[in-house]
Amino acid sequence: MSIRIVLPTALARHTEGQKSFESQAEDLPSLLAEFDAKYPALAQNVKDPNGKLRRFVNVYVNEEDIRFLGGEAHRFADGDEVMLIPSIAGGCCPCVEWRAKF
C-alpha cells in the first residue's frame, strides 16, 4: 500500500523542498512515526511536546478533513493523498526578508 503525502512550502523546508512524496503509513500515528525516522525536523515542527499533532495543523485525506473520518483511528487506503497544512497558513519562507516601500 502506498499513499502520497503533500506539504505546503512552510513545511517542505524540512524535506529539502520536496512538497510531495510516497509513504507506506497506514494511519496518522504511523505517519508521524515515519516523519520521526525520515524527516525529524518535520516531525518536530508538526508535533507538540507530547508527541501529538499540533492543534494548528490540519490533515486532509483527499478532500476531507481527517477529523470527519475518525482522526487518528482512520486507516489510509492505497492511493490516498494526505495533506498536512497549518490552519492559518500562507506566507513566504521565513528566510526571505521582504522590504516595504517607503
Partner 1 sequence: MSSVSPYLCSTTRYELRCNECGKSYGNRPLSACPDCLAPLEVHYDLEPLQGHLTREKVGRGPASIWRYRDLLPVIRAFQPDLPVGFTPLVRASNLGKRLGSDSLYLKNDAVCSPTLSFKDRVVAVALANAQAFGFTTVGCSSTGNLANATAAQAARLGLKTCILVPSDLEAAKVLNTQVYGARLVRIAGSYDHVNRLCTLIADEYHWGLVNVNLRPYYAEGSKTVGYEIAEQLGWRLPDNIVCPMAGGSLMRKIRKGFQEFIALGLVEAKPVRFFGAQASGCSPIAHAVKNGWDYIEPQRPQTIARSLAIGNPADGPAAARMIQETGGWAEDVSDVEMVAGIQELAEDEGVFTETAGGVATAVTARLLAQGRIRRDELTVVCITGNGLKTTDALQGRFAEEAAVRPRLSDFDAYLRSVQPDLIGSQAEPTLAGGVY
Task: Give the footprint of partner 1 on this chain (CB under 8 A).
Answer: 8-10, 13, 45-46, 54-58, 60, 63, 65, 67-68, 83, 85-92, 94, 96-102
37 vs 96 by CB, closer to partner 1: 96
The Cα-based distances of 9 to 16, 78, 84 in angstroms read: 10, 25, 11
37 vs 88 by CB, closer to partner 1: 88
According to DSSP, residue 13 is labeled T
Q: How far is the CB of 88 from partner 1 (least distance, A)?
A: 5
33 vs 57 by CB, closer to partner 1: 57
Q: How far is the CB of 98 from partner 1 (least distance, A)?
A: 4
List strand residue ranges (DSSP E) for 9-68, in order: 20-23, 57-61, 64-65
Q: How far is the CB of 51 from partner 1 (least distance, A)?
A: 15
Which amino acid, residue 38?
K
- Cross-strand partners of 21: 5
Q: How far is the CB of 96 from partner 1 (least distance, A)?
A: 8
With contact defined as beta carbons under 8 Å apart, do 28 and 53 qualify? yes
